C-alpha cells in the first residue's frame, strides 16, 4: 500500500488568470491578435505556448505571412495553435500540426474551432511545404529528428542571439540555406530553403 502523503500533488493551473496577465489584448476570456487590418485571431487560454506575448511568436507571424497563402503548412510544436490558425486565416490550403503535449493539441483544436478553421493532426505527405518551428534550438534538434520532412520553406524562431553560430551549424548540417534572418529583443528568426545538391 502506498502512503499518498508521499505522492506529488498535481497542481491545477488557472490558465485564464495566467493568460489575463500575459496574453495580447486579453478580454472576454480570449486573446485578440490582429493579423491584418481585416483579420483578428482569437485564442482561448490553455497550456499551449503562444499567446503573442513572446518575441519569438511575433517574429514567426511576421516572417511567415508572405509565404502561407495557397500553401500546405506543417506546424511542428503547435502549442496553442497560434501559428497554424494564423496560417489558415491568411489563406493556407491545408494546415497540419503536431506537438509532444496532448493538452497542447487539444488547446490548438479548441482555438481552431473558435476561429472557424480546420487543422489536421497528421504528418503531411506533400513535399511542397511551409514548415514552422517556434521552439528553443535544443528542442528543434529533437523535433526535426522525429518529424523531418522535405520542404519548400522552413521558418524557425526560438534562437537566442548568443546561440546564432551554433544554431547555423545545426541548420547547415541539415542542408538548410538561410534566406532571411530577423531579430527581436535578442531572439532570432530565420527563413530557410532546402539545399538540394
CA 154/CA 163 separation, integer angstroms: 19
State the pTM of this model: 0.91
Q: What is the mean pLDDT of the chain?
A: 91
CATH ID of 54-194, from 3.40.50.300, 3.40.50.150, 3.30.2130.30, 3.30.590.10: 3.40.50.150
Q: How far lies 26's CA from each of 56, 100, 122, in Å?
A: 19, 26, 31
Residue 154 has pLDDT above 70, yes or no: yes
Longest CA–CA span in the chain (Å) reads: 62
Residue 10 has pLDDT above 60, yes or no: no
pLDDT of res. 196: 65
> Which residue, 77, 91, 43, 103, is CA-closest to 155?
77
CB 78 within 8 A of CB 133: no
Amino acid at each position: 500500500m502506498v502512503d499518498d502523503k508521499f505522492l506529488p500533488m498535481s497542481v491545477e493551473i488557472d490558465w485564464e488568470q495566467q493568460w489575463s496577465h500575459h496574453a495580447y489584448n486579453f478580454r472576454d476570456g480570449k486573446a485578440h491578435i490582429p493579423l491584418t487590418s481585416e483579420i483578428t485571431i482569437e485564442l482561448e487560454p490553455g497550456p499551449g505556448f503562444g499567446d503573442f506575448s513572446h518575441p519569438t511568436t511575433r517574429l514567426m507571424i511576421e516572417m511567415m505571412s508572405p509565404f502561407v497563402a495557397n500553401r500546405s503548412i506543417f506546424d511542428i510544436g503547435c502549442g496553442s495553435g497560434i501559428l497554424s490558425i494564423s496560417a489558415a486565416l491568411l489563406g493556407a490550403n491545408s494546415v497540419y500540426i503536431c506537438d509532444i503535449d496532448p493538452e497542447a493539441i487539444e488547446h490548438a483544436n479548441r482555438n481552431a474551432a473558435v476561429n472557424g478553421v480546420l487543422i489536421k493532426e497528421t504528418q503531411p505527405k506533400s513535399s511542397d511545404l511551409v514548415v514552422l518551428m517556434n521552439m528553443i534550438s535544443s528542442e528543434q534538434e529533437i523535433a526535426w529528428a522525429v518529424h523531418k520532412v522535405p520542404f519548400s520553406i522552413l521558418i524557425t524562431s526560438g534562437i537566442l542571439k548568443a546561440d546564432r553560430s551554433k544554431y547555423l551549424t545545426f541548420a547547415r548540417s541539415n542542408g538548410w540555406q538561410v534566406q532571411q534572418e530577423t531579430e527581436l529583443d535578442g531572439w532570432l528568426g530565420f527563413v530557410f530553403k532546402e539545399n538540394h545538391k
